[in-house]
């Protein structure tokens, strides 16, 4: 099983995380940001990963540091769990509807960090969560996992649905990209490395 752990403690957050790529969709998520707990839970389920997160942070300020640092830890754990990337599909994509919302995610585990995001959320907040933090989380995830991540929310009216569709599509796209294709010998790059 490809897996990795991260523990990260700063003056702003205290995070422990264990991630498995070849999992069963088992999530044990406890964070000080309830909306992120909800998103990580369904990300894990739809990616068929295993994920344990214990994240405490300075949410008395806002959810920024905690959300950002979970993204950092998850990205680092994902990259380490991928190992030498031999035999992986490398690319993955998913188009996921959630009621009236439609989100699309395309990913290349390219070792070239990039985030491209097209999403206009109608509300600035879902509950107490600032919706601008979705971009913050995704950028730190892409940066630390060294992946090229493209996220499009085609349409939607309910911000909760739109973000939920993004995280489900993210799980499915990363599941595909990280999965082993028995036809792939070595690393799937004409350069010979990723
Ligand atoms: Mn929901």
Q: What is the pLDDT of residues 153-165, one digit of tens each?
A: 999 999 999 999 9
What CA–CA distance (Å, rounded) separates 169 from 142?
A: 15
Distance from residue 164's CA to the centre of ligand 1 (Å): 6
Give the Cβ contact number of residue 66 at 10 Å. 24
Strands (E), 134-173: 148-155
**Residue 192 Cα to ligand 1 middle (Å):** 41
CA 136 to ligand 1 center in whole angstroms: 20
Q: What share of the chain is helix, strand, coil (3-state, %, to 5)?
A: 35, 35, 35
Tens-place pLDDT, residues 49-100:
999 999 999 999 999 999 999 999 999 999 999 999 999 999 999 999 999 9
């Amino acid at each position: 099983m490809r897996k990795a752990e991260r523990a990260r403690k700063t003056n702003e957050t205290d995070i422990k995380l264990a991630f498995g790529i070849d999992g069963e969709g088992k999530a044990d998520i406890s964070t000080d940001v309830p909306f992120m707990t909800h998103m990580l839970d369904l990300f894990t389920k739809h990616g068929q990963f295993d994920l344990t997160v214990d994240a405490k942070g300075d949410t008395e300020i806002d959810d920024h540091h905690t959300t950002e640092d979970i993204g950092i830890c998850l990205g680092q754990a994902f990259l380490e769990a991928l190992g030498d990337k031999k035999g992986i599909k490398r690319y993955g994509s998913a188009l996921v509807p959630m009621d009236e919302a439609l989100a699309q995610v395309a990913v290349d585990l390219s070792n070239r960090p990039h985030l491209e995001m097209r999403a206009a959320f109608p509300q600035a907040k879902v509950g107490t969560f600032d919706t601008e933090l979705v971009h913050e989380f995704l950028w730190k995830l892409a940066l630390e996992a060294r992946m090229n991540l493209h996220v499009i929310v085609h349409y939607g009216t309910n911000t909760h649905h739109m973000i939920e569709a993004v995280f489900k599509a993210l799980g499915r796209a990363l599941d595909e990209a990280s999965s082993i294709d028995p036809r792939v010998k070595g690393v799937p790059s004409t350069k010979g490395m990723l």
